[in-house]
Amino acid sequence: MRGLIEKDIRLTLIRKQTIVVFIAMALFMGVSMNGSFVVAYLTMLAMMIAIGTLSYDELDNGYAFLMTLPIDKKTYVKEKYLFTLGVSVIAWCIGAVLFCIVRVVQGNGGTAFAELPELMAIIPAMYMSGCILIPLQLKYGAEKSRIALFIIFGLIAVIIFGSTTLLSSMNIPVEGISASLDSISTAVVIPVLCALCIAAAFVSYLISTKIMNKKEF
Alpha-helical (H) ranges within the chain are: 2-13, 16-32, 36-58, 62-66, 73-105, 109-119, 122-140, 142-169, 174-182, 186-214
Instruction: Read off the pLDDT of residues 29-55 as tens digits, 9 standing for 90 and up.
Output: 666 666 677 788 888 888 888 888 888
User: So where are the chain's domains?
Assistant: 2-214
Helix (H, G, I), strand (E, B) or coil at 167: helix
Instruction: Read off the pLDDT of residues 50-98 as tens digits, 9 standing for 90 and up.
Output: 888 888 887 767 777 877 888 888 899 999 999 999 999 998 998 888 8
DSSP for residue 61: G
Cα 171 to chain centroid distance, Å, stands at: 36
Instruction: Read off the pLDDT of residues 123-181 as tens digits, 9 standing for 90 and up.
Output: 998 898 888 889 988 888 766 656 766 676 566 666 656 656 665 666 655 555 455 55
